[in-house]
A = this chain, B = another copy of it.
Amino acid sequence: MKFITITTDFGNLNGFTGTMKGVIFNITPDAQIVDITHEIPAQDVRTGSIALWRAVPYFPAGTVHIAVVDPGVGTTRRPIAARLGDQFFVLPDNGLITPMLEDAEAAGKDIVIVHLDKPEFWLPVVFTTFHGRDIFAPCGAHLAKGVRLEDMGTIITDPVRRPLPKPSKSDRGFAANIIVIDVFGNCSTNLRVSQVPDLAKTTLKIAGQTIEGIVPSYGHRKPGELVAVTDSEGFVEIAVVNGSAANKFCIRLDDPVEVIFDD
């Protein structure tokens, strides 16, 4: 079984992702395809990269991840493919790959990136408005079918990078930011819980509110209360118990979070 995931900002309205699956099954009929999400906000490369980054570690070795959030479709931006350790990626060269690439580099994994410049792996006709169907889907399918990455394009070492904002050290802790808001209105920061010396002895400030302590789970506070917890990837998360922190306190992506380590 060959696993392929798809992450896009195409929505589920027009059948674009269904069409990509038709292309994939034409090339490799025994693929197993998983949708990560197709509801990335239009052309929001960073949110797309985070959604994929959070899902990748849970997939089997050899999985091919196709991601298309591609404001530059039809321009000279390169289509690329990469092998980062035991996972494959097929996506536009616009920074989408950054968090996965940084993790692979930090872990000392084997890294190969190619410019997908060989039209024999594309569909015969390529429209400038839908490389997801005409380039990324067929290239991902060929990879899943067993074509060697190195045979699919020219090796490059200068992929476009768009690093996520990193929390910065402050006098008494960290200046962090909200980088993910989920469907429940839970707001994840870019600060790892492992960077916090004592969860109970930590004060957080966001949106004019003060939160005392990072608790083990939502259930440790009453419904409606604003809490800090560990999110599902190990980052500090701001949430309202059985409610939406984003809605209740008008929290948006990039909003600052002051994390203070109490004396």
B18 touches A218 (CB 8 A): no
Could you say which residues of chain B place their CB within 8 Å of the CB of A35?
12, 18
Say yes or no for A208: interface residue by CB 8 A criterion.
no
B128 touches A230 (CB 8 A): yes
Contacts A26-B59, A75-B219 given; does A52 touch B1 at CB 8 Å: no
Minimal beta-carbon separation of A175 from chain B (angstroms): 24
8 Å CB contacts to B: which residues of A1-56?
Answer: 1, 3, 5, 7, 10-16, 18-19, 21-23, 25-26, 29-30, 32, 34-39, 42-43, 51-52, 54-55
Chain B residue at minimum C-beta to C-beta distance from A38 = B12
Could you say which residues of chain B place their CB within 8 Å of the CB of A10?
183
Q: Give per-residue flags for A202-219: 1 if the beta carbon is below 8 A from chain B beta carbons, else 0.
A: 000000000000001111
B25 touches A133 (CB 8 A): no
Contacts A23-B58, A58-B23 given; does A183 touch B14 at CB 8 Å: yes
Say yes or no for A158: interface residue by CB 8 A criterion.
no
Q: How many copies does the complex hold?
A: 3
Minimal beta-carbon separation of A66 from chain B (angstroms): 12
Could you say which residues of chain B place their CB within 8 Å of the CB of A133?
58, 232
Minimal beta-carbon separation of A148 from chain B (angstroms): 22
Could you say which residues of chain B place their CB within 8 Å of the CB of A29?
1, 3, 32, 60
B15 touches A51 (CB 8 A): yes
| A–B Cβ pairs within 8 angstroms, 28 of them | A3-B25, A3-B29, A5-B22, A7-B15, A12-B37, A12-B38, A14-B37, A14-B180, A18-B34, A18-B37, A18-B55, A19-B54, A21-B34, A25-B34, A26-B58, A29-B60, A58-B133, A72-B219, A73-B217, A74-B229, A127-B231, A127-B234, A129-B218, A129-B230, A129-B232, A129-B237, A130-B232, A134-B232
A-B contact sample (14 more), CB < 8 A, given A16-B182, A74-B219, A129-B217: A3-B22, A3-B25, A12-B37, A12-B39, A15-B37, A25-B34, A25-B60, A26-B59, A43-B242, A71-B242, A128-B229, A129-B231, A130-B232, A134-B232
